[in-house]
Amino acid sequence: MSLKYASMRKVILLLFMAVGQAQAQQTVQFSQYVFNGLSVNPAYAGYKEQMYASATYRHQWTGIPGAPRTGGISVDGPTRENRVGLGVQLMADFMGPQQAYSLYGSYAYRIPLDEEGTKRLCLGLGIGVTQYSLDGKALVPRENDDPTVPTGKVNTLAPDARFGIYYYTSSFYLGVSVMDLFSLYTEKGYFWKGYNFGTIRKTQHVYLTTGCMLYLSDHLRLKPSLLVKEDFKGPTGIDINTFLQIDNLIWIGGSYRMNPRLWKSKLPDDLQISNAASAMVEYYASEKLRIGYSYDLNINKLAGYQGGSHEISIGLSFPSKKSQVINPRYF
């Protein structure tokens, strides 16, 4: 089959260049994930020790018709005893004729490791469901009456789960999570009249996240962090981030995203590696409200076809009258 418009055909080719030869999509990742850890680890739920709501919208590769657009809303917080964190996350992902909507609920058991509660080991589990869609009107078959091309929009539902471990202190954190656990059992599933939805579903990923807070002066703090994303099929994804906090008011930083081959020697030699650099700023309008923006630019052959990626986010905290956060939450 071929896409109806030449521009749409180009974007699909570029998408495959960017993600390599994996058999499924990459899990959605925001550049500003460092300000909402629930997006990469269910064990993060309740970390801020107060109800916290976050909304993010990302428009990737602007200037290319059909380029990915992603939106997400999440809410999480602790229970009264602070031993359990609960969270919910709603995501919408659009890429050309493909769409995916997902809803997850997260549960985190938070084990205190000191009397003050500044050190905790958290075990998290997320359960959810994803609806995958394909708009057949955006596709034109090479042969008339091709049964594998739907005449309209078709959908399929798939259950999913995720698991994570999260350890933190007042100035350090380390997390490991496994996303899209059920994808291992659905390699041959999701069929509609001969069309295999397995080509557009998200594939399983393992995340490793870590970071720390370095105190430079009474007015300046430095927060370096690292994210490693592995799907066991394409190049390994690595994000290196650094933020400078000024007077608890503004964060200014950047990120460099690369995809080294590391231990995957069997990957094709001509596989296009997708590297990108990001500039980010986070402004705390008040103790409760955070507003963030990031701009990403690819550093490879894709750069000449698009105008970068834009991402905006808003975070809002709801402090409880019965409890007070003694230590600031930097992660």
Query: Tokens at residue 45, please?
Result: 């739920």
SS3 10: helix
Query: Tokens at residue 330, please?
Result: 């930097």
Q: What is the pLDDT of residue 92?
A: 94
Instruction: Specify whether the CB–CB gap between 229 and 207 falls below 8 A.
Output: yes
Q: What is the pLDDT of residue 319?
A: 85
Tokens 């909402």 locate to: 36
Note the pLDDT tens digit of each residue in 166-225: 999 999 999 999 998 876 544 454 454 455 555 556 678 899 999 999 999 999 999 999
Domain positions in the chain: 27-318
SS3 144: coil
Q: Burial, 290: exposed, middle or buried (Cβ in 10 Å; 0-12, 13-18, 19+)?
A: buried
What pTM value is reported for the model?
0.83
SS3 302: helix
* Residue stretches of the chain with pLDDT short of 70: 1-28, 140-141, 146-148, 183-202, 261-274, 300-306, 322-327
Q: What is the pLDDT of residue 317?
A: 93
Q: How far apart are CA 132 and CA 273, in angstroms?
A: 27
Q: What is the pLDDT of residue 57?
A: 95
- CATH architecture, range 27-318: Beta Barrel (2.40)
